């Protein structure tokens, strides 16, 4: 890494850490840079690796049935552009419906096959300690999922079993978010230490 990149990286890291002093223009500048660079990079990747190959295939052989299949996602993407116009926003609802439906289906199948079922299968293993851990993990996962299912439903007097499951799910989420926050803090401190170390190597 050259000296310019090291200095820029350290400055941006310090701008992010300025949030410890409160919300300020320097922190907002760092956030705007992050959002802008991410949006620009994502747009270029989509154009270069998704849209352009599809358009090139359609131009090379428009009659190819395989190429014609790309017309459906391109049409849905085009309809999504109407969401930017308030009077015509309803035209893009079909695309959003497809995205939400597919996303929900993938998330549900992934939750069942990638989380719940492996935990249930692990609970049947001969190891007692492993089985107990797998059963607890499966129960905590189910309680958390039920908590999201019941969030927003304010019953006058929910049954005690529902309140118990909701409390367990909330506790699991609290512990999880605390662990994630601790990991984010430690990672940010490690990044700051690395940036400072790289900057010190430039000193004579």
- The domain limits of the chain are 1-69, 125-204
pLDDT at residue 41, as a whole number: 93
Residue 6: both structure tokens together? 């090291």
Whether the CB-CB separation of 165 and 145 falls below 8 Å is answered with: no
Which H or E run contains 189?
Answer: helix 160-200
pLDDT at residue 17, as a whole number: 85
pLDDT at residue 154, as a whole number: 55
Residues with Cβ within 8 Å of 131's Cβ and at least 6 positions away in sequence, in order, are: 122, 123, 124, 125
Instruction: Give the C-alpha separation, 89 to 79, whole Å.
Output: 9
Instruction: Give the C-alpha separation, 10 to 13, whole Å.
Output: 5
Which residues does the chain have with pLDDT short of 70?
Answer: 1, 67, 119, 122-131, 150-156, 204
Q: Give CA separation, 99 vs 55, 79, 84, 184, 197, in Å.
A: 22, 12, 17, 30, 45
pLDDT at residue 32, as a whole number: 93
What are the backbone angles phi and psi of residue 147, rounded to the nearest 5°? Answer: -60, -45
Residues with Cβ within 8 Å of 57's Cβ and at least 6 positions away in sequence, in order, are: 64, 66, 67, 70
Instruction: Give the C-alpha separation, 95 to 74, whole Å.
Output: 11
Residue 158: both structure tokens together? 């929910």
Whether the CB-CB separation of 57 and 64 falls below 8 Å is answered with: yes
Instruction: Give the C-alpha separation, 31 to 123, whole Å.
Output: 44
What pTM, to 2 d.p., does this model score? 0.55
Instruction: Give the C-alpha separation, 119 to 139, whole Å.
Output: 9
The region, left, alpha or beta by phi > 0 then psi within -120 to 50, assigned to residue 152 is: left
């Amino acid at each position: 890494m050259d000296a310019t990149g090291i200095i820029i990286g350290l400055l941006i890291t310090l701008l992010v850490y300025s949030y410890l002093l409160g919300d300020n223009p320097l922190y907002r500048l760092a956030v705007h840079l992050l959002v802008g660079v991410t949006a620009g990079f994502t747009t270029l990747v989509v154009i270069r690796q998704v849209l352009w190959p599809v358009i090139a295939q359609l131009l090379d052989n428009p009659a190819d049935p395989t190429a014609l299949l790309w017309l459906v996602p391109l049409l849905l993407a085009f309809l999504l552009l109407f969401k930017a116009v308030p009077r015509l926003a309803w035209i893009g609802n079909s695309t959003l419906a497809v995205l939400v439906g597919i996303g929900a289906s993938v998330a549900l199948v992934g939750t069942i096959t990638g989380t719940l079922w492996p935990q249930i299968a692990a609970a049947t293993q001969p190891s007692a300690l492993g089985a107990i851990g797998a059963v607890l993990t499966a129960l905590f996962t189910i309680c958390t999922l039920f908590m999201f299912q019941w969030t927003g439903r304010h019953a006058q007097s929910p049954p005690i079993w529902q309140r118990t499951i909701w409390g367990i799910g909330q506790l699991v989420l609290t512990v999880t978010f605390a662990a994630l926050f601790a990991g984010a803090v430690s990672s940010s401190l490690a990044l700051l230490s690395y940036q400072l170390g790289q900057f010190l190597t430039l000193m004579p």
